[in-house]
């Protein structure tokens, strides 16, 4: 399952994501992974969640991000949740259609591996690709 928290800057996306991380850590038997662009959530999320600082890697493209997700999963098949904060800060291509293509891939990966993904995206909800809008929470 893929869920997207989208809104303009200051709308509470990260706060909601952090709350969802806490709920996942408390409710799940598996592992929780949080990917963020900068080290801002270090003291906000529970220590049981694996925090990945994406600025340590030259992500830039959706293909690199797919590889990162697959690599993290290959090293730990017990992951039940991935949370990605400030998603568009990690990729160079900001086109709505490109994000929609990534979401399509993520849905297939999520279903095949039984992992829930929650992504926060800065932007206007109305301008999002239809495939992205279908995942809004």
Average pLDDT over residues 78-93: 96
The answer to whether the CB of 86 falls within 8 A of the CB of 122 is yes
Average pLDDT over residues 101-121: 98
User: How many CB atoms are closer than 10 A to CB 10?
Assistant: 8
**What is the pTM (predicted TM-score) of this model?**
0.95
The CATH code that applies to domain 2-129 is: 3.40.50.300
pLDDT digits (tens, 9 = 90+) for 115-133: 999 999 999 999 999 999 9
For residue 69, what is the DSSP state?
H
């Amino acid at each position: 399952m893929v869920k997207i928290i989208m809104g303009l800057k200051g709308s509470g996306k990260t706060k909601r994501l952090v709350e969802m991380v806490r709920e996942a850590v408390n409710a799940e038997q598996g592992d929780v992974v949080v990917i963020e662009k900068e080290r801002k959530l270090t003291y906000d999320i529970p220590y049981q969640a694996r925090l990945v600082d994406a600025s340590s890697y030259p992500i830039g493209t959706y293909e690199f991000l797919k590889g990162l997700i697959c690599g993290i999963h290959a090293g730990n098949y017990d992951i039940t949740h991935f949370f990605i904060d400030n998603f568009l800060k990690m990729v160079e291509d900001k086109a709505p259609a490109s994000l929609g293509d990534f979401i399509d891939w993520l849905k297939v990966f999520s279903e095949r591996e039984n992992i829930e993904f929650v992504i926060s995206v800065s932007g206007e909800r109305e301008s999002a690709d239809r495939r992205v809008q279908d995942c809004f929470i």
